[in-house]
């Protein structure tokens, strides 16, 4: 185990040195390309910042207004039929918009029910089996200026539902 930790500590510096060495051997101005890439990255950040702020404000408004709790109470019965514990319904809703907000809700669940409880296991597996659909779609599609998303939302929702079902099933066997 110590060997893996030792190797992992050196992996990122090795990759950086490897990239620089390849650039120098191909006579590429490495520093100039780095600065150009950083400049393009900042342009991307500035371009997506309004979308990120909008998503964060929307999630904050949903939580503060009580609408999220209301929606969770409406969906808790159908979710219970599927085997999803009621305290995880708000997590599933928020997870589609914000990973950090969903992580905050999961930490609250861990404090209340414990990490090794059934609800804690489902929450952990669900966080790794689902994606922040609306965040990802808005950021990536806006960045590359995609206007027609076709079946992306439907496919992402099906994948998220599959991830939730898989997390419920897997947690029963742990």
Angle at 140 between CA 133 and CA 132, to 5 degrees: 20
- What sign results for the dihedral spanned by CA atoms 168, 114, 72, 138? negative
Spatial separation of the C-alpha atoms in residues 128 and 170, rounded to whole Å:
12
Phi, psi of 14 (to 5 degrees): -65, -40
Q: Tokens representing 82?
A: 């599927």
Which of 121, 131, 136, 122 lies closest to 158, judged by CA?
131
- Say how far residue 54 (Cα) sits from the centre of its chain: 17
Global pTM value: 0.70
Would you give per-residue pLDDT tens digits along the chain (174 residues)? 688 888 888 898 999 999 999 999 999 999 999 999 999 989 888 888 887 788 778 878 887 898 888 888 888 888 888 888 988 998 998 899 888 888 988 999 999 999 999 999 999 999 999 999 988 888 788 778 888 888 999 999 999 999 999 999 999 987
- Residue 29 backbone class (left: φ over 0; alpha: ψ -120 to 50; beta: rest): beta
């Amino acid at each position: 185990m110590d060997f893996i930790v030792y190797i992992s500590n050196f992996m990122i510096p090795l990759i950086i040195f490897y990239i620089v060495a390849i650039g120098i051997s191909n006579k590429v101005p490495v520093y100039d390309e780095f600065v150009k890439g950083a400049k393009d990255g900042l342009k991307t950040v500035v371009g997506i910042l309004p979308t990120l702020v909008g998503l964060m404000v929307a999630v904050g408004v949903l939580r503060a207004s009580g609408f999220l709790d209301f929606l969770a109470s409406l969906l808790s019965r159908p979710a219970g039929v599927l085997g999803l514990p009621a305290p995880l319904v708000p997590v599933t809703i928020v997870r589609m918009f914000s990973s950090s907000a969903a992580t905050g809700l999961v930490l609250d669940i861990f404090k209340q029910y414990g990490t090794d409880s059934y609800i804690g296991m489902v929450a952990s597996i669900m966080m790794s089996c689902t994606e922040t659909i609306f965040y990802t779609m808005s950021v990536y599609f806006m960045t590359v200026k995609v206007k027609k998303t076709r079946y992306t939302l439907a496919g992402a929702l099906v994948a998220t539902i599959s991830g939730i079902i898989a997390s419920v099933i897997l947690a029963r066997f742990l």
